[in-house]
Amino acid sequence: MGEGVKGSRGLVLAIDQGTTSSRAIVFDGSFRAVASAQQEFAQHFPRSGWVEHEPEDLWTSTLAVCREALEKVDGGASAIAAVGITNQRETTLVWNRKTGEPVHRAIVWQDRRTASVCARLKEAGHEDTVAAKSGLLLDPYFSGTKLAWILDNVEGARAASQAGDLLFGTVDTWLMWKLTGGRSHVTDATNASRTLLYNIDDNCWDEELCGLLDVPMSMLPQVKDSSDEFGIVDAAHFGAELPILGVAGDQQAATVGQACFAPGMVKSTYGTGCFALINTGTSRVTSRNRLLSTIAYRLDGKTTYALEGSIFVAGSAVQWLRDGLGIIEEASQTQELAAGSDPANRLYLVPAFVGLGAPYWDPDARGALFGLTRASGPADFCRAALESVGYQTRDLIDAMRDDAAHLAHTAKDGIVLRVDGGMTASDWTMQFLSDILGAPVDRPQVLETTALGAAWLAGQKAGVWPGMEAFAEDWRLDRRFEPDLDEPARKALYEGWQDAVRRTRTN
């Protein structure tokens, strides 16, 4: 198999199935990525606000990248001790139990088609019950209303579901069904906690929530710990049978990969959007600031909870500068332009291109730019786009500080933010983030934290990787960004942002 990766021990294959591409990364026992492959797949937008994937694309792209990565490993699949899976969350699939054929395209987490359903449920007074049981808000973001839409809009789907012929799954469940030849219809607690159908206190599918959306419970997968025996990959796929031993939704996997195991530890991932999670320990914390209560991970039957804030636009603001306005050719140009802009030309970009996420949850808000003068130019636009990520993160961190002030790391040491994702490569952006937060920002050496988290869940279950404490001790810092802005300046900048958001909101 060519030169291959030789002499490595404790190899784990991590599948990272994302919104725009599928990746496979092989990690060794030192937590280093030693082989990888990536493949993009098509996005489908049948109507405004609708986003879909072909289920077969999710499967074939995953299969292809796994095979490509394993070809770079000496011994191929036979050298792999375990498989871990992390996935885009909330994306919803329904398929026939007998034939394995999907009844509809996958409805992606970004899809907004069920906004009217959520509005009706709110008007009927159901949001308090949903939040109390699932930790979530009534928003099209989550899986439950997407599943209900498929049952109500695909001919014959409702009757087939009631007859027990249809299965539901998020992307992890779909991939495991395919990898195991239909023998495993399973998920983990983190993915289940994003469906609107799962009681995160009782750790089970909730009959009342399922009834609210008219979802037959026979469709739902078995829920396991995040480190568990999920099934065996058929040898026909990779040349050897492989145990699937770790599964977590992408943001929870990143929390694990960043070793945020202690209450009060916070991570923030910057990709298309931004997702910040704070570990709240074994006790669920109910937010006063419209953050989500969710499961961070479940190990040996013990649940660890988190508060999560979701920003819908982070890296996609930079894509807008490139593809929408044409003022840059590559994302990397934004750092130099922002650094060279005149701070006196103070612009605020509120990137509510698809509404505002936490803590506002305003789906009807739309983007706006404030402070334009004749002196405004491309450099100021770049600066405003990068700063908007910092301001939105400040919104989330302030909410977390208020909700979780009693937690050890938050109360004793203050928040230290661990960051990962593509935007963290920009030193300028990370320094502004630290400045506007008034808190340290830590960038790790290993930026593939999402895949690493899935790999650790599998590797430690297989007994080839160390436990939580040793894994956390191995977390390595690349650079810490310390705040270098005085409090009056920080306060003035953030008040300007808050004023811009107020002018943008519709609720």
Which structural domains are found in the chain, ordered by start?
Answer: 11-240 (3.30.420.40), 258-444+476-507 (3.30.420.40)
DSSP state, residue 182: T
Residue 447 is predicted with a pLDDT of: 81
Q: What is the 3-state secondary structure (H, E, C) of 75-134?
A: CHHHHEEEEEEEECCCCEEEEECCCCCECCCEECCCCCCCHHHHHHHHHCCCHHHHHHHH
Residue 409 is predicted with a pLDDT of: 62
* Count of residues in the chain: 507
Residue 3 is predicted with a pLDDT of: 41
Backbone angles phi, psi at 150, to 5 degrees: -60, -45
Per-residue pLDDT of the chain (507 residues; tens, 9 = 90+): 334 443 346 899 999 998 888 999 999 988 999 999 999 888 888 988 888 999 999 999 999 999 999 999 988 999 999 999 999 999 999 999 999 999 999 999 888 899 889 989 999 999 999 999 999 999 888 999 999 999 999 999 999 999 999 999 999 999 999 999 999 999 999 999 999 999 999 999 999 999 999 999 999 999 999 999 999 999 999 999 999 999 999 999 999 999 999 898 999 998 878 899 999 999 899 888 889 999 999 999 999 999 999 888 888 888 888 888 888 778 788 888 888 888 888 889 999 887 888 888 887 788 899 988 888 888 888 899 999 999 999 999 988 888 877 765 654 456 789 999 888 888 999 999 999 999 999 999 888 899 999 999 999 999 999 999 999 998 999 999 999 999 999 999 999 999 999 998 887
Residue 413 is predicted with a pLDDT of: 55
Strand 441-444, strand 477-481: pairing: antiparallel
Q: How far is CA 19 from CA 87, 179, 424, 428, in A?
A: 8, 19, 19, 27
Amino acid at position 145, single letter: T
Per-residue pLDDT tens over the stretch 398-452: 888 888 777 656 544 567 899 998 888 889 999 999 999 999 999 998 888 999 9
Return d(Cα 436, Cα 499) in angstroms, integer. Answer: 16
Stated pTM of the model: 0.88
Residue 317 is predicted with a pLDDT of: 84
Per-residue pLDDT tens over the stretch 180-224: 999 999 999 999 999 999 999 999 999 999 999 999 999 999 999
Strand 21-27, strand 11-17: pairing: antiparallel
